Structure 1
């Protein structure tokens, strides 16, 4: 509310007033060339980590799950059908096509159970994590170069309505089922910093680990460069920018509830890294029972029965958060609708719903990163200036290839990481995401000061200071901590020493190749941590200098474009007002169409 909503709305407003420029380009325009170069180079690197970890969540949720893979695969032809329907058959009928799409999605989820129990379905759709990685990389490239109306926009419609509808259903389920909170108010691991899921102290890692509903730099990236190109008029910014983040905050509360109602032994069975459970129900039971949790101990049979109840072969070490939310959602909703017989349906419905909006984030992020790289390279002039024209297809294809190669490489590192990709990459993801938010809040604060509203600069300024305190502290610990479970470079040094000593097994690595993997991965993660901090510090220092110069009357002028009167008619909100409906009837326009008329 006080940080995320403010950031999303104001970044959207600033970008709209600059004809939809990307965040990196706005840093260059408002803070100067030095900060601009740092941002235009650093932000694509940061967003690479964000996209890779989000894709990793999908991989962890869908690996060896033919039901889930089939359901998600079907969303692609459904989205393309919706895009063609809106483009050629019924232009402007967003609600109509969304209802059709949701119906087809539900059919895909129901059909997934039948497909998963056929021999050909199990063979085709029971995919390994590495195979899923390559499929996601291919999908990300295709989604980035295809027209927005064909795939990205219809997926946005689907994911938005499904997200809001599902969370509303969960809220009703909470009221009807009256679930009991199983999680303690304060975990025994909160003070020790050696929890079985993530290592590190409560501050700062709590604030960079929980991403849903929190301040997000990824939101700022999409609100600049992508969302402005989809708006029909400025009046729609508040409900999309501020209202969208409020909706996500509600989603976060419900998601927290679904995790908190799970039996704590099953929760840690789902979320403990593979290096502790060895992906075995027996080993997982032994490990989880040794954590000293309250409640009855879990048995291997209990774990296997829990997996079978949701139509899965295993739930051991299904890290990433998506399986936990799906399991909690199934646990809650089957008590309200359908009983035990529908528990598996609810689980896979939740997996489909989560993967759908995460994939929307992946393709939108890939496209946004493509725009940023185009902007950055276009600043060199010459033939590269053509890259700033998004309709130049060779440039779009080349920049998209660079982006998917970057995040695809990190994704493959995470999937093959012996330490568990989620457990090592997620803290870096959280830091990167929050540092990106720090860049966005710096731009917002400077623009507010430049517009002569110094007395209101505290509104983005306070969230900026808190964000920097959290993320820079977390970065310091990941870079310099002597604890190998926290510090990347300490961990790197330990495994490098084992590598040089010719060890064939060390820590979680069971062979020499895995030791080499850890050495490489920790080097990459540690280096990226340093790069992220340097980029953000350069941008923030430049922002402070520009702000002080502006207060003294010697600042860089605003790069805002002159406002242009709208030639489109569209409702300001989701539901047209009486006056808007009257004008729509007079113009003979559908409720969500854009037609030539004064705003």
Structure 2
């Protein structure tokens, strides 16, 4: 019953904190108003700037920020114990992650829908804008390059997921056409769409697809090329054609998956099959780095993630139709992600103990957990993380009477679909970032969305195939991703702090305290990484990581100077209030 109690306490806590802390921040700190002009209406173009119902944009925003982040992070951080993992997931998402996401969203909406790297110049200074751009471009470059490989790995582990994931695209396009071109009700059509989606899931179970090598290009390389081509097409289409309807379907898929998981937790707990078998705290797991500061870097999206600020200030700020919707979209989505991360913890801390296959044996209880999490090396691989979550989740869902192979397929499609959403959203955001940079450099040719998107995809392809035809080149930079991602979160919180400081009073502390905490944790982690890169002779990682450290210190220093000057000069006024 301990797993059930954990879920109930966490979920009640998220609801309470949204109603209390979230609404307080919306009303008193950011002073949300209804009817204020927003970029979605001011710059409406039918491609990127599109006023959207808050339920639909919530679906896009949530599925974009989620990806595999709230799954793989908690699934490996559990190696330090489920108690520290859950404390950071809950506290981090409520007072840091949700503030970070919501703050980046509302500030972008008050600055023509520009990205956080662009409006950094306004709230700190022009120098920091280009330093910020380097961090943002690096993060998105790694995401785009690696997620083709991520999805390829998922397809390889769960071949039953291939058919439904690709069939989701025509279903989404049809939904978008009927809603936006024919004016039909999205409610009824979305129900039909999700039913069709799960029909394809069942079909996928009976027609699994395995990609074969094509010439000298192995399966992972083939998938990477296909997915990068898809990302280009999806990212230049109007958001109403594919992005919004697909993400809306994915949000329904999330609801179905979470309902199944919650139901599975209840049934498994009441039938005595579900108990937490992971240790409460494990300070020194084999081969693992120190819990402090790496717990806060590893969990990432489950508590706070810099990538979220890019989604908030990239795609979402151009679609929110009223300021009052921003709290539901920005703050609410992060708490929903915390709820998902909670279910992940339960799946890998308790669900895996219901049955875990290894070497022809089926292990149960604590032996199942200790076998999978025997060491850091055993637990940290992408396939290992996803397998732990899917296995634990499918065990719980199967108690509802769903065949095990169907349960595995449902969760495999769930993970792959979210990874696909992250891929095309990241590509679109990279296009926005590139466009803004070249606009400042007075190079209008690169402001063309096709040219900018090609540059985003081409640079990612160069990285992906730098090591050969297998598309695994981005793995060379992957060790940097966690620290860079959380560094971006710290920097975004610094910008939000500067914005709130211009508003007067002590409201800046809402973002300022989280900013200091994240800055300390991420600098600590990046410096420890630097020492490890130097000792192991990893020259490329050492050089890039040292550049990141210098950029972070520079932006923090510039931010500190700006912070103490704000009261001595006229406050920067947002372009749209």
Using a 3 Å threshold, how does the CA distance of structure 1 residues 413 and 161 change in structure 2: closer, same or farther? farther
**What is the rounded CA distance, in whole Å, between the counterparts of 1:181 and 1:161 in structure 2?**
29
**Which of 130, 142, 151 is the matching residue for 1:49?**
142
Partner residue, 1:160 = 251
1:400 aligns with 2:453: yes
Counting only pairs closer than 5 Å after superposition, residues 503-518 of structure 1 correspond to structure 2 as none
8 A contact 1:431–1:474 mirrored in 2: yes
- What is the 5 A alignment of 1:559-598? 559-563=573-577
Unmatched 5+ stretches in structure 1: 270-280, 300-314, 389-394, 481-486, 494-521, 564-599
- Aligned to 1:246, which of 327, 335, 340? 335
Corresponding position of 1:272? none
- The counterpart of 1:462, out of the listed 497, 510, 513, is 513
Alignment of 1:406-555 (within 5 A): 406-412=459-465, 427-453=479-505, 455-480=506-531, 487-491=532-536, 493=537, 522-551=538-567, 553-554=568-569
2:441 counterpart SS class: coil
Distance of 2:393 and 2:504 partners within structure 1 = 48
Work out the CA distance in 2 between the residues paired with 1:230 and 1:418: 33
Structure 1 CA distance, aligned partners of 2:412 and 2:213?
15
**Shift of residue 264, structure 1, vs aligned partner:** 6.8
Equivalent position SS for 1:21:
coil
Does 1:367 pair with 2:367? no
1:230 paired to 2:319: yes
Correspondence list, 1:148-297, <5 A: 148-178=239-269, 179-187=274-282, 190-191=283-284, 194=287, 199-263=288-352, 281=359, 295=367
Alpha-carbon contact 2:221-2:471 (below 8 Å) kept: no
State the 1:38 CA deviation.
1.0
Partner residue, 1:319:
383
Report how far residue 44 of structure 1 moved: 1.1
Instruction: Tell me: CA distance 1:16–1:202, structure 2 relative to 1, closer, same or farther (3 Å).
Output: same
* CA shift for structure 1 position 417: 9.3
- Pairing 1:14-163 to 2, within 5 Å after superposition: 14-63=107-156, 65-91=158-184, 93-116=185-208, 121-122=209-210, 128-163=219-254
Whichever of the two has the greater Rg, that structure is 1
From the superposition, tell whether residues 479 and 266 of structure 1 become closer, same or farther in structure 2 (CA, over 3 Å): farther
The alignment's TM-score, normalised by the length of structure 2, stands at 0.74
Shift of 1:536: 2.3
Change (3 A) 1:122 1:238: closer
CA-based RMSD: 3.3
CA distance in 1, matches of 2:130, 2:477: 26
Give the drift of 1:242.
0.8
Matched-pair contact (CA < 8 Å) for 1:375–1:387: no
Residue 23 of structure 1 and its aligned partner are, at CA, apart by 0.8
Residue deviations 1:251-297 (CA, integer Å, cap 9, x gap): 1100111111255798796xxxxxxxxxxx59xx9xx99xxx95389
Segments of structure 2 that go 5 or more residues without pairing to the other structure are 1-93, 372-378
Task: Give the whole-Å Cα distance in 2 for the aligned partners of 1:80 and 1:125.
Answer: 30
Q: Deviations over 1:365-387 (max 9, x none)?
A: 11111101110111012xx1354
Q: What is the distance in 2 between the residues matched to 1:334 and 1:268?
A: 15
The separation in 2 between residues aligned to 1:558 and 1:222, in whole angstroms, is 24
**Structure 1 residues 208-258: Cα deviation after superposition (integer angstroms, max 9, x where no partner):** 111342111111111103111111111101111111111111111001111
Q: Summarize the Cα distance change of 1:541–1:419 in structure 2 as closer, same or farther, 3 Å threshold.
A: same
Match of 2:398 in 1: 334
Distance 1:415 1:296, change over 3 A: farther
Q: Say if 1:523 and 1:153 are closer, same or farther in 2 by CA, change over 3 A.
A: farther
In the superposition, the TM-score normalised over structure 1's length comes to 0.72
Asked if the contact 2:98/2:331 (under 8 Å) is kept, the reply is yes
Q: 1:114 to 1:224 in 2, by over 3 A?
A: same
CA distance in 2, matches of 1:294, 1:333: 20
Asked if the contact 2:135–2:488 (Cα under 8 Å) also holds between the matched residues in 1, the reply is no
Which stretch shows the higher mean deviation, 257-266 or 225-234? Answer: 257-266
